[in-house]
Amino acid sequence: MSKRFFRVYRAACSAFAAAALVACGTASAGRHAAPAPMSDDRIFVQLREAARNNDAARAAQLASMIPDYPAPSYLEYFQIKPQLFDSSGHARLDAPDEPVLSFLKRHDGEALADRMRNDYLTVLGARHDWRNFDAQYARFVLDDDTQIKCYALESRAARGEYVADAARALLVEPRYYGDGCVDLITALAAEKQFTPEDVWQQILLAYEQNATTTGSRIADALGAARPDATRFEQATSAPPLLLANGIGADSASHELALLAITVMARNDAAAAAATFATVAPQLSLAERAIGWGTIGYQAAARQVPGAVDWFRLSANAPLSYPAYEWRTRSALLAGDWTMVRWSIEQMPTPLRGRPAWVYWHARALKQAGETAAANEEFERIASRFDFYGQLATEELGRKIEIPAKTTVTDAEVEAVAKTPGFELARRFFALNLRLEGNREWNWPLRGMTDRQLLAVAEYARRIQLYDRTVNTADRTRTEHDFSLRYLSPFRDIVERDAQTNGLDVEWAYGLIRQESRFIIDARSGVGAGGLMQLMPGTAKMVARKIGLGAVSPAELNDINTNILLGTTYLSMIYNQFDGSAVLATAGYNAGPGRPRQWQAALPRAVEGAIFAETIPFNETRDYVKNVLSNTVYYAALFEGRPQSLKARLGAILPN
C-alpha cells in the first residue's frame, strides 16, 4: 500500500488550484458545442507524459501550445529529452548534441541540468564517445545511476585502466544494469579483464533475479565460448531435460548445469534440490556450493522447509547479495548463531557493513561470549535513528530517547522560504507531479547546514507540505528537531479514533508516517488512498462493519473518514493476532492472511526482531521495521520518557 504515491497536495493546491484543478469551461447547452480548450497546466502535464514516452513529435506539438508557461526550463527539457531516446528507452546514437549543450550551459547549476546531463551521459556512453563522456561525467552531481557508473568504468578501461574489481563490486543488481552495464561486461570480457567465469557469474545472477532478458544479453559477452543456442535455450526453458542428459566435462557444460539449477530453483526449490543431489557429484566442490546457495536462496525466500540445510552446503561460495542475506536469515530462524556469524563474515564488505548485518553479527558475537567485540559493533550503529540503531542502543543497556531539540527562529524560516526552486516545486506539487516537485525541493538542500534544513522543514510545516517537512528534517546530522521529523498533524482526530479502537496513538502515527507522510490525498499505484492508504475494498468492508454505509472515493480521502476506517481496520487485525504489533503491522501492509502463513512456517518461537528480519516480502519487511521504529520515537515524544523497541516487538510463537 505504501508504494509509488501519486499525491495531491491540498495545501499547495490552494496557491495554484485555479490553474491546475479547475476545468477549462463547461460545455454549452447545444448538442454540437465544441469541446472546451485545455488549460495550460493540463497541456503541460500531457507534455510531460509525451516526454516520458519519448514521443518527440507530440512533445513539440504540445509545447508550441504553451510557449509562455511559467516553467520554461521544463518546457524545453521535455522537448529535448524524447529526442535522445527511442520508444523503447534506448539511447539514440544520432541524438542531437547542440540543444543539449546549449541547455546545460544556460541552466548550469540547476536541478534540471543535472537530470539532462544524466540523459546525455547515457547517449555519450552508448556512442563510446569517451572524451565528451568524461567531461560531462565530472560535472554529474547526483551520480546515482548504475548504468552511467558502468559507462564510467568502461571509459576508464578504454584508457587502459584495470577496473575489473570495481566492476564486480558495482554489478550486483541486474535490474539496474540497462544497456551500459551489459556493454561494460562485454567490453571487460573482450579485454580479458573479465574471465568467462566472471561473465557466467553475471549470467547466473541475472537469471536468479529473473532478469532473463538481461541474462541472455550478457551471455553474448562469452563470444566464441558461448554454448550453442539450443543448449542455452534448454538450460533456461527446459532445465530438467538438460540435466537428464548428464553434465559434460567441459567448463561450459558445468556452467549450463548451474544455470539450469538456478532456473529450476525459482520454480520449485525442493525439486531443484532433489535433481541437484543427483548431478552434484559431477561438479567441483566450489560449483556444488554455488548450486546449493542458489537453491537455498529461492527456498528461503519462499519459506520452503530445508532451506537452512541447503545453505549450510554453500559455505565460501560467491553468492548474490540476496542469497547472502537469506542465508543469514535462515540461520536466524533456525537459532544457529554460529552459522549467523560465519554467513555474515563471508559477505562482501559493502553488504556486511549495512546496519542490519552489523547488528546481527554483533548479536552472534555476544551469543559466543565475546561481549567487548559485540559492544564495539553495537556502538558503530547505535547513533542511527532507525530500527537497528534502536536495537543496538538497547543491547548496550540504554533506552531509546529523543535527542535535544534545536529550535530555529522566524527570521531563519523566512530566509529559507526564498530559496530558488521552492516556488516551482510547489507548482509541481499542486499539479501532482511528484517527481519534478521533489527534484526542485531537494536540490538546494544538498549544501545546507542542519539549522537551515530545520528552517526549511519548519517552512514546509507552515505551508502544510508535511511530507517535505518529514523528509527534510530527516536529513539533519548533529542538530535535530524530532517534532518535525516525527510530525503529528491532525492530533485530535488521530487520538480520538486510536483511543476509541484501543490502539496506542503513537502506533497510529507511526503507521501514517510510513504510509502517506501525512499527505491527505495520497494515492498508491494499486489504488490505496488517504492518510492511512486504505484499499477501496477494505474501506468498504470496514465501513459496513461499523454501520457507516457506502464510502465514495472522495469520502475515503476525508481526514475524519480515512482515519476512522484505518484505525478500525488496524484494531481488527490487532485483535486477530492476539495483540502482536509486529504481526498486525505486517497484516496491515500485506493482508492478514500472509502473516498467518509466515507465523505458521516458524520452526520455533522467535523474538520479534528476527520475525521482522525474515519476512519474505521486501516491502513488508521494511514496512514493519519502519512503522515500529517510528512508533518508538512517537512514544518518546508523546510520553516524554525513554522507550523500548524490544518490548514492542515481543516474541512471535508458531500458530
Which residues are tagged catalytic? 515
Could you give the 3-state DSSP secondary structure of residue 192?
coil
CA separation, residue 297 to residues 223, 444, 638 (Å): 30, 42, 42
400 secondary structure, DSSP code: B
Say how far apart CA 512 and CA 627 lie, in whole Å. Answer: 8
Q: Which residue in 487, 513, 484 sits closest to 408, CA to CA?
A: 484
Distance of CA 470 to the CA centre of its chain: 18
- Residues in a beta bridge with 494: none
Distance of CA 479 to the CA centre of its chain: 27
Region of residue 604 (left: phi > 0; alpha: psi -120 to 50; beta: else): beta
- Residues in a beta bridge with 400: 643
- Residues in a beta bridge with 534: 529
CA separation, residue 238 to residues 163, 262, 293, 397 (Å): 36, 12, 21, 55
Say how far apart CA 382 and CA 605 lie, in whole Å. Answer: 26
Q: How far apart are the first and last CA of the chain?
A: 26
Q: Please, where are the H alpha helices in 443-504?
A: 450-462, 466-473, 482-485, 491-500
CB 327 within 8 A of CB 343: yes
3 state SS for 35-101: CCCCCHHHHHHHHHHHHHCCCHHHHHHHHHHCCCCCCHHHHHHHHHHHHCECCCCCECCCCCCHHHH
Helix axes 229-237, 251-267, angle to 10 degrees: 30
Q: Which residue has the cell 504553451?
A: 66
Q: What count of other Cβ atoms lies within 10 Å of the Cβ of residue 609?
A: 26
CB 246 within 8 A of CB 280: no
Give just the sign of the alpha carbon dihedral 353, 358, 603, 586. negative
Say how far apart CA 119 and CA 587 lie, in whole Å. Answer: 40
One-letter amino acid identity for 445? L
